[in-house]
Amino acid sequence: MALHTSFLRFLKDEKGQEFSVFKLLISAVIAVVILGLLLSIINSIGLISGAEPQKEAGNTVKAIMRDNATIKASTEVTFDNKNRIINASGISSASGGVLQPNEVCISAGQFTGNTSWVTGEGGSFLEYKGSSAINAVVIAACDNVATINDTYGGDVSGYMSSNFGSSIGTDWFNDCACVSDSEAARCCFVAVKRPN
């Protein structure tokens, strides 16, 4: 009981009044709790979102387009009503024309088989058709078409498994046109994964 009484005496000054510092501390704690609630509500309705998928896909490929068998992941992106598509032409533009659109193959990645995602013929584009925003990460890897064809007999699954293990699904790029395109010198594989 003496400890309780001495603690209460600590919170009050000589006149029996509570310290204003204690009131300030309580106010700060309440403000932090309210701020946390507001941020979670704003985030849940999608007002705070990740980067634009097309822009991040271009930046990610540009960073590794000359490196063979190197994988890179983008910052988190948000697919929504405004940012639905990643296309090979946009990635080619981001590379400054070093890569041609026929040297890019885009896959739904971890979302393969999900009806909200549509890929273009030969991996020319990826479009999100879902109604609610979804966060993802864009990953990319590039290599010489000759290496894929000569070393792996054009088997993209074998190439992916050998070079990246479980980081990239072996079935994500089965329909890539760049591997069989006689005019493509390189093939950059772009896919979408769930954020960690």
Write down the pLDDT at residue 101: 94
Find all residues with CB under 8 Å of 3, minimum gap 6, and list them: none
Residue 91's CB is within 10 A of a number of other CB atoms, namely: 27
**Taking residues 55-75, what's their average pLDDT?**
89
- Tokens 């849940």 map to which residue? 44
Q: What is the pLDDT of residue 14?
A: 60
pLDDT in tens, 104-116: 999 999 999 999 9
Task: Give me the pLDDT at residue 103, please.
Answer: 93
Do 172 and 90 touch, CB atoms closer than 8 A? Answer: no
Distance separating alpha carbons of residues 62 and 91, to the nearest angstrom: 8
Alpha carbon distance, N-terminus to C-terminus of the chain = 51
**pLDDT bracket for residue 184 (50, 70, 90):** confident
For the stretch 17-49, pLDDT in tens is 566 777 788 888 999 999 888 877 766 555 455
